[in-house]
Structure 1
Amino acid sequence: MENNQLMYLVTGAAGFIGSYLSKAYLDMGIKVVGLDNLNSYYDVKLKEDRLASLKEHSNFSFIKGDLADKEFIMNLFAENQFDVVVNLAAQAGVRYSIENPDAYIESNVTGFFNVIEACRVYPVKHLIYASSSSVYGSNKKVPFEETDFVDTPVSLYAATKKANELMAHTYSHLYKIPATGLRFFTVYGPMGRPDMAYFGFTDKYFAGESIKIYNNGDFDNDLYRDFTYIDDIVEGIVRLTDQPPTGEVAHKVYNIGNNNPEKLMYFIHALEGALSKALGKEIEFKKEFEPIKPGDVPATYASTDALQQAVGFKPQTSIEKGLEKFAEWYVEYYKK
């Protein structure tokens, strides 16, 4: 089948990963229907700007709507014959799930159920959905492997993502829906999410405020994060798209991470360096140290062996290179 006859649904298309992925599919000549509810969890202008660049493609169409509205979702699937569905729409953020749990159940559980039900009624070649590295909870064994025990989430956000994996497995078992879950590890880059630490630190610097670092100032036992550059995430998803799982239960879960965790303090120094380069002057953040927050985990570290075996790809963008691209974009976008 020619690419121009393929039609993909990307939910969360105005989001960080969703907008980059939609562009990659469009560049391949695939028709993309982008769905998003444009909620105000963070700056809606950023979402609208991501969409604006997608709308320059004739093969892109945008629909504003909510995954939690089952009738709307069923009608959307009835009116279109989607070959592939990529469900990236979700209420994001670990800490926010402690303040506003209802949003997570509505979007991440009810919304996902509606999508997978629609895939049952209107079958697709492949359902790809966003899980999260947070499902590993406080696992001590590193690197995290897809076969690890993940029944001890430490946030509601993590619990909703684990629920998605269980629902997808069940639907694959019962209805033969080929489904792939992706456990993302701390995704960053230009046009990223303002609620992520690297973005927030940059905002604080320009506002003349100090940044809060949740490691108690304990540099020997610093937080580790597997920071993954957006282009690497998209490359992994694109390569997996036309490789739906097969077998008795056609459901697979993959880590997409950098397989190279960095100390949080090293990441912060690299961000200071990237901003210094973008601004043409030496900068340093004012820092405050606080205890680790509820729901946060000490380390995230992805084993990417399964992904590499499946599609011959391993994320490899260095922290320095990725943060330089972010800093250049930020200074240009916000006219700093």
Structure 2
Amino acid sequence: MSDDSPILVTGAAGFIGHAVSERLLARGERVIGLDNFTDYYDVALKKARVARLTGNVGFRLIDGDIASPGLVSELVEANGVRRIVHLAAQAGVRYSIENPFAYEHSNLKGHLAVLEAARHAGHIEHLVYASSSSVYGERPLGGTGFREDEPCTDPVSLYAATKRSCELMSQSYATLYGLPLSGLRFFTVYGPWGRPDMAYYGFAQKILLGQPIEVYGEGRMARDFTYIDDIVDGVVGVLDKKPAASEHRLLNIGDCNPVGLMDMIATLERALGRPAIKLMRPMQPGDVTATYADISAINALTGYSPKVSLAQGIERFVDWYLGEIENGGRGPMAAVA
């Protein structure tokens, strides 16, 4: 579904950003990728992701900070951008306790800069942006899926609070300036080329090294693990369904199938062919017990339906990860090589 105008993808060196960019390029779109390569995790991995994109004539990379005044506006105006996929953000629940101002800068100031660019351009057809399942707050195990019409008034981490703030800012800009917006609440994305700070990734590293893994919440947690290809299906599907002017949609993107943390570890052990040495730890500040996406809204809009099971997805991640080790390692993987 190609358009003559390029699509601006912020966070193009990130896990989801590079995968979305790759999919858009594959279907003939032109993509302007914006990223500032922060060192929250190893920059070598981010550069390796971008290297997969730069060979495509339709891709152009801009190294810059979305929170820099005027940068996004200049890119939008100079390139006639009419669609934006805004995925740049400071991720991580636990890191928000250590470095809260990184979240103020990237998530709040950065999101506002993107909204301002869209507002002043006057020709944005659709702005899709990343939110998070963390906005739902603490929920017990069991029950029904989280629905987008729930109030979301009790964030348990600063990261969650910034993501909910982005949703509220977006609602105000849709109302004031007629912007067509879609906010996507992602649920525990995993897979090849993923983030080393995610549990499944760190566990794989330590299991291969014979080191113990720390299992928080005494293992009594569950996550709606969603494979990266399914996430990309959802993002691109929503991008293609342009809302009306002044419409602001909030949509879950998840697998709709919560898996217990201990079950995920067992799946990883089977894929690696090695047992994990488990150290049981209490719940950490900012963590939630469970996530569980109700995906009826995005399914009705786009036909979104996850295809990759956790066993399949973990197997694909392990195959990629072991391949990286065999090739000499990269960044955080080098320690295993």
TM range (shorter): over 0.9
Q: What 5-or-longer segments of structure 2 have no aligned partner?
A: 327-336
Confirm or deny that 1:236 pairs with 2:234. yes
Q: Distance in 2 between matches of 1:236 and 1:40?
A: 28
Which residue is equivalent to 2:195? 193
Which residue is equivalent to 1:137? 137
Which residue is equivalent to 2:114? 115
What amino acid is aligned across from residue 228 of structure 2 in structure 1?
A: I
DSSP-derived class of the 1:128 partner? strand
Which residue is equivalent to 2:321? 330
Deviation at 1:216, TM superposition (A): 2.3
Deviation at 1:4, TM superposition (A): 5.6
Q: Distance in 2 between matches of 1:239 and 1:78?
A: 25
Length-normalised TM-score, structure 1: 0.94
Confirm or deny that 1:310 pairs with 2:309. no
Deviations 1:210-254 (A, max 9, x none): 00001225xxxx20100000000000111111212226x410000
Q: Distance in 2 between matches of 1:302 and 1:3?
A: 30
Deviation at 1:142, TM superposition (A): 3.0
Q: Distance in 2 between matches of 1:226 and 1:96?
A: 21
Which residue is equivalent to 1:262? 259
Which segments of structure 1 move beyond 6 Å, counting only runs of 4 or more? none
Q: What 5-or-longer segments of structure 1 have no aligned partner?
A: 277-282
Q: Distance in 1 between matches of 2:178 and 2:73?
A: 19
Deviations 1:282-314 (A, max 9, x none): x10111000000000000000000011111121
Q: Distance in 1 between matches of 2:218 and 2:202?
A: 19
Length-normalised TM-score, structure 2: 0.94
Which residue is equivalent to 2:35? 36
Deviations 1:190-214 (A, max 9, x none): 0000000000001112333100001
Q: Distance in 2 between matches of 1:64 and 1:197?
A: 28
Q: Distance in 2 between matches of 1:13 and 1:159?
A: 24
Asked if structure 1 preserves the Cα contact closer than 8 Å seen for 2:5 and 2:80, the reply is no
1:225 is matched with which residue: 214, 217, 223? 223
Q: Distance in 1 between matches of 2:286 and 2:229?
A: 27
Report how many aligned residue pairs link the two structures: 324
Q: Distance in 2 between matches of 1:53 and 1:147?
A: 38
Which residue is equivalent to 2:177? 175
- Percent identity, please: 48
Asked if structure 1 preserves the Cα contact closer than 8 Å seen for 2:139 and 2:291, the reply is no
What amino acid is aligned across from residue 257 of structure 1 in structure 2?
A: G
Q: Distance in 1 between matches of 2:4 and 2:36?
A: 26
1:320 is matched with which residue: 304, 307, 311? 311
1:246 is matched with which residue: 244, 249, 253? 244
Asked if structure 1 preserves the Cα contact closer than 8 Å seen for 2:217 and 2:284, the reply is no
Deviations 1:41-65 (A, max 9, x none): 0011110010001001000000000
Asked if structure 1 preserves the Cα contact closer than 8 Å seen for 2:6 and 2:30, the reply is yes
